Amino acid sequence: MKNILITGGAGFIGSHLTDLFLSKGDKVICVDNFLTGNPKNIAHLKSEKNFLLLEQDVSERIEYPDPVDIVFHFASPASPFDYSHYPIQTLKVGALGTHNALGFAKSKKSSFLLASTSEVYGDPLVHPQTEDYWGNVNPIGPRGVYDEAKRFAEAMTLAYHRMHGVDTKIVRIFNTYGPRMKPNDGRAIPAFISAALNGDGITVFGEGGQTRSFCFVEDLIRGIYLFSQKTFFEPINLGNPKEMTVLQLAERIKSILSSDSVIEFKELPVDDPKVRQPDITRAKDVLGWEPNIDLEHGLNKTIEYFKQLKQEQGVLQWQK
């Protein structure tokens, strides 16, 4: 049994990662201050003997006395609504939180895996995006608080690897979806599903021609696990390389739900990426990984979750 510490363990991806390691018989220490994490994501683990919740702000400290084998640093607001509501906290967790998590890993002589993002590529001028592309980011735009927080976190992670010999790993996560996402958090899939289930208009920004590549959370978690078992310090893209337009996605969700919701077009947000598609050659070569869950299956699983959520809430809307 290994001791796994996950910052942001009550978040969308962090909670799925928590479930995976518990299923393998490991002990999981979940660190979360619930700024954007959801207590419901880990409510089913209250009686789990190998699960421990530490309600701490990683930007201030990480305190745990026992040995730890690996630190997964997943704490951060990640959706457009979240990081626009919490811009300073987003920058702090990318800088101070990453520093604290790396210092903690160094003190425990544990390995460290950083959850980075495709947003480090910004509005890319290279397509698809490979790990050696440096990106096209506006550091002072509204998205800069998230983009630059993650770019700084990557630099800090590699500094600890080079200066202190910490076994570090960086995963660049592309658009991921699935159960436990928050409704209307500014990301396309939950926003479109929520609107269709509420009977509201489905908002597509611009003309809907911007592209995204959507990876189901189970595929992503499998890739992260495989990466955690390797000694490889360069960043690895994890995502689904099957590209589609945002308008195509909206129409697909409408079709699955047989929804009468009208697709409405609004002005494209500042610095919204025009394309997004991962080159996963490195993931295939180093991890032997590629996604295998098709969009239809993943969307149906996600829609089922949002239907249950709607029964509980009545109306799907943005929540803290």
- From 122, 127, 262, 269, select the one nearest 206 (Cα to Cα): 269
Q: Kindly give the interhelix angle for 188-198 and 295-313, rounded to the nearest 10 degrees.
A: 50
Opening angle at CA 82, ends 55 and 250, nearest 5: 130
Q: Which amino acid is at 232?
A: F
What stretches of the chain adopt beta strand conformation (E)? 3-7, 27-31, 51-54, 70-73, 111-117, 168-173, 176-177, 202-205, 211-213, 215-216, 236-238, 243-245, 263-266
- Antiparallel, parallel or unpaired: β 168-173 and 111-117: parallel
Catalytic residue among 146, 160, 225, 305: 146
Q: Which two tokens stand for residue 31?
A: 């660190």
DSSP tag of 45: G
Environment class of 225 (CB within 10 Å of its CB; exposed 0-12, middle 13-18, buried 19+): middle
Residue type, 117: T
Is the Cβ–Cβ distance between 205 and 266 less than 8 Å? Answer: yes
In whole angstroms, give the CA distance from residue 79 to residue 189. Answer: 12
Q: Please state whether 61 falls in left (phi above 0), alpha (psi between -120 and 50) or beta.
A: beta
Strand 263-266 relative to strand 243-245: parallel, antiparallel, unpaired?
unpaired
Tell me the residue type at 3: N
For the question of residue 146 being annotated catalytic, the response is yes
| Residues designated as active site | 146
